[in-house]
Structure 1
Amino acid sequence: RPWYGGKVASYKDRDGNHIEMGLHVFFGCYFNLFRLMAKTGGLNNLLLKDHTHTFCNEDGDVRELDFRFFLNDTKIGAPFHGLKAFFTTPQLSVADKAANALALGTSPIVRALVDPEGGMEDIRKLDDISFTDWFTSKGGSMGSIERMWNPIAYALGFIDCNDISARCMLTIFQFFATKTDASVLRMLAGSPNDYLTKPIVEYVEKKGGRIHLKTGCREILYDTDEKTGKTVVNGLRIGGTKVVQADAYVAALDVPGAKKLIPQPWKDSMKQFGDIEKLVGVPVITVQLRYDNWVTEMQVENSKGKEARGIDNLLYSADADFSCFADLALVSPWDYYKEGEGSLMQCVITPPQKGAVSGRNYFKMPKERGE
């Protein structure tokens, strides 16, 4: 590709519109990324959102999971802000809240409050059970799964609670329960190219580094010592015949790329590489739609003005095929707000081969349209 960033890339189309690879949200527990952005000068490009998770239900019924908790102007943090959020959210019924409390109250998260390492050790043992099976076995309800946890699972991993492991979900919950700002969201002020990857690229180039675009790696060249069995990479074949040699090699690959590039002998002899063949990539469709009014402004009489209006945050839905979405003109205004125009909705459709609500196969849309 002719642009930086891979899965978090963006580019401009012929009309000057920024097109993103996906909807990118930055939770407060992304500590390594924040350190990288601080080091490369991009940390101030993140815009802090209200500490609430918003669910948009059918017929414009908007409900919140609100972590904001103050007593006499004193901010109350973890774990109490989370307890307040889950006990007061109107997204769940009273019965679902009680079942939710039972399941999470008997989970390793409780141990993590006093023993973080021990709690994580217990959570790691839950990699072979789905979140649905684990949650319901602890007394959790399907109402909670359907109205809250499925949309969140789709936003986190693009799969639902039947497919995502309990380990994945509880790892996130453990961060939320033990660190006050782990669940607060930030979003880029503008496009990922300009406000995430560009500062990193500039940092690398100032240090004398070079980044080569449109240059695919075709083969890993290596030698294996017959006596010791030690394998040493000695180059990368780029394009047809060019070989690049370096002091160190790092590969950041998606699932199809890893399956294609990792040498077969490595897969045969080393379990960590052989297990890559068991991974299945998850398809996702991201759609950007520009409107002439403000879609998330709930007061209809105010939705047609020139002034930006609506919900400035990530949005979830249990009642749409796009389980998470946002108005980029509000959440990332430096590039996406355009005077005289309205919302720029970015919607994440997953699974696209079978819509979460409609069951529709979005991959067949061009063919259907042609018919």
Structure 2
Amino acid sequence: MSDVIVIGAGLAGLAAATALSSQGAEVTVIDRKPFVGGRAYSYEHPSLHEIVDCQHVLLGCCTNLRALCEDAGIGDKIRWYDELTFLETNGSSTSIHPSGLPSPFHASPAFLRASMLGLADKVGVARGLVEFLRGYPADDSESVAQWLKRTHQSERAIRHFWEPVIVGALNDSFENCSTRYAGQVFHESFIKSAEGGRLGIPKRPLSEFYGEVARQAQQQGTSFLLTQSVDTPLQRDGDRWLIHLEDQTLSTENVIIAVPFEQVQRLLPAELNTTSDLIANAGQFRNAPITTVHLWFDREITELDHAVLLDTGIQWIFHKSRIRRWPASAGSYVELVISASHPHLKRSREDLLSSSLEELAMFFPAVKKAELRKSGILKEARATFSVMPGLDKFRPSQKTDLPGLYLAGDWTQTGWPSTMEGAVRSGFLAAGEVMDSPRRFLRSDLPPQGLMRWLSK
């Protein structure tokens, strides 16, 4: 018997468990996988004998995710960057970084010097950013494609600014992303403050990194039942819920279902299936994939830790051997990220590897002289959900119609897109609902800085 059972050990479930156990609640977390972290995981590749993961990053504006890490004592295991580098195939490089100017002008000097955009492009980008100066739309009905057309963005500005940021952050095409969430990305990370745009990358593999959050929860009394699957709907027994596992049945007053939207239907009790629109609404969600290409070279191919690669199928390069501070003699371990990789799911490994190496050499000529020792490709078909226009009305709250039953997951009502920050927020909100104080554990957003203290809503 537990006070609370959390089904799902992803970031939403971990956040809920740490919040509730910090208040003395007896919490049990169940997950079918042998590790925690959900989609933010790492594993040893069986043939490469290397630890691989799909790169996840956080921003300075991710206040709840940062708090979760700080509370677990892993804040110092994040490497922070104030500079974002854009590379062109012609060898040109643009670095966007803050200056001494007050927000929202903190990155203006670097932006004005950007070689990746012409003067007319920059004027159009500035005109577009002004729309997000005071905030972002409350309504999510307009698509980014419609917004780009309405604000008369140039083709070059779209390719070299809007696409790398929006597709990288929201992981789908312009047609499938709401301007509300694109506006949130720019307001919180580009405009509101210099701190909000800082890029944070874990120094350690993700399962090892978030395993520390699980250890903190355990120290607070949380029990973890991993490699345990809940395959039947929850059942009600008086004022308690019954959760049937393969070899035991658990009883609790409160259950938090913290799994992706496509897994919820098999867990919901019959009472909720017949009295709620939750199942029908779950059909409105769409998954979006991310493909990562992992390469191990015998020598360093660049001194950059990370960069945005323009005009290719690759959006990002993460130089993981440098991020983790391996010695240069160990060579280069790089991860190439292809966001919204719908067409890549059907491409063969050989085809993806060949095109990726060809494109990578366009930016880093050292690739042609380096020996490729190992390579691997990871396709995450359900990496995120798409924040499609009009989706907000289908995202459920953390509190359901039945007493003691709650939901968590980045797909619930968090006010954020499909991100690690959204997942953690949902866990904190669900924990707050259990304690009849919905926002009890939720951290405040970063305050505006500089002139934004008067310009923000």
TM-score by length of 1: 0.77
Deviation at 1:39, TM superposition (A): 1.1
Match of 1:186 in 2: 200
Other structure's SS at 1:6 match: coil
Deviation at 1:279, TM superposition (A): 0.3
Out of 305, 309, 312, the residue aligned to residue 312 of structure 1 is 305
> Is 1:55 matched with 2:68?
no
Does the 8 Å CA contact 2:59/2:200 hold for their aligned counterparts? yes
Classify 1:319/1:69 alpha carbon distance in 2 versus 1 (closer, same or farther; 3 Å): same
Match of 1:86 in 2: 111
Root-mean-square deviation (Å): 2.6
Classify 1:169/1:224 alpha carbon distance in 2 versus 1 (closer, same or farther; 3 Å): farther
> Is 1:285 matched with 2:291?
yes
Deviation at 1:171, TM superposition (A): 0.7
Does the 8 Å CA contact 1:45/1:189 hold for their aligned counterparts? yes
Gaps in structure 1 of 5+ consecutive residues: 71-75, 113-118, 226-231, 298-309, 355-360
Deviation at 1:258, TM superposition (A): 3.0
Deviation at 1:245, TM superposition (A): 2.0
> Is 1:36 matched with 2:51?
no
Does the 8 Å CA contact 2:103/2:193 hold for their aligned counterparts? yes
Deviation at 1:311, TM superposition (A): 0.7
Match of 2:334 in 1: 345
Aligned-pair identity (%): 18
> Is 1:24 matched with 2:56?
yes
Other structure's SS at 2:295 match: strand
CA–CA separation in structure 1 for the residues paired with 2:107 and 2:269: 46
| Structure 1 segment 169-318 matched on structure 2, within 5 A | 169-176=182-189, 177-194=191-208, 196-223=209-236, 234-239=241-246, 242-262=248-268, 266=272, 269-295=275-301, 297=302, 310-313=303-306, 315-318=307-310
> Is 1:324 matched with 2:316?
yes
Classify 1:91/1:368 alpha carbon distance in 2 versus 1 (closer, same or farther; 3 Å): closer
Classify 1:47/1:364 alpha carbon distance in 2 versus 1 (closer, same or farther; 3 Å): closer
Deviation at 1:183, TM superposition (A): 0.6
Offset from partner CA, 1:267-322 (integer Å, 9 cap, x none):
55323553111101112222211111222x2xxxxxxxxxxxx1123x22232222
CA–CA separation in structure 2 for the residues paired with 1:236 and 1:269: 21
Classify 1:162/1:142 alpha carbon distance in 2 versus 1 (closer, same or farther; 3 Å): farther
Other structure's SS at 2:254 match: coil
Structure (1/2) with the larger helix percentage: 1
CA–CA separation in structure 2 for the residues paired with 1:175 and 1:368: 38
Offset from partner CA, 1:138-189 (integer Å, 9 cap, x none):
2322322222211212221221323211011101111131122101111112
Does the 8 Å CA contact 1:218/1:236 hold for their aligned counterparts? no
CA–CA separation in structure 1 for the residues paired with 2:158 and 2:168: 14
Other structure's SS at 2:36 match: coil
Classify 1:327/1:275 alpha carbon distance in 2 versus 1 (closer, same or farther; 3 Å): same
Does the 8 Å CA contact 1:5/1:193 hold for their aligned counterparts? yes
Classify 1:236/1:275 alpha carbon distance in 2 versus 1 (closer, same or farther; 3 Å): same
Does the 8 Å CA contact 1:352/1:363 hold for their aligned counterparts? no
Does the 8 Å CA contact 1:130/1:164 hold for their aligned counterparts? yes
| Structure 1 segment 61-80 matched on structure 2, within 5 A | 61-64=92-95, 66-70=96-100, 76-80=101-105
Number of residue equivalences? 318
CA–CA separation in structure 1 for the residues paired with 2:270 and 2:294: 39
CA–CA separation in structure 2 for the residues paired with 1:247 and 1:44: 37
Does the 8 Å CA contact 1:100/1:140 hold for their aligned counterparts? yes
Offset from partner CA, 1:328-352 (integer Å, 9 cap, x none):
011233xxx2663211111122333
Deviation at 1:202, TM superposition (A): 1.2
Q: Which has the higher contact order (CA 8 A, sep 6+)?
A: 2
Out of 22, 28, 34, the residue aligned to residue 2 of structure 1 is 34
1:67 maps to amino acid: H
CA–CA separation in structure 1 for the residues paired with 2:97 and 2:240: 49
Offset from partner CA, 1:44-64 (integer Å, 9 cap, x none):
111111x22222222443322
Other structure's SS at 2:215 match: helix
Does the 8 Å CA contact 2:169/2:185 hold for their aligned counterparts? no
> Is 1:149 matched with 2:149?
no
Gaps in structure 2 of 5+ consecutive residues: 1-32, 353-457
Does the 8 Å CA contact 2:234/2:267 hold for their aligned counterparts? no
Out of 363, 367, 370, the residue aligned to residue 346 of structure 2 is 363
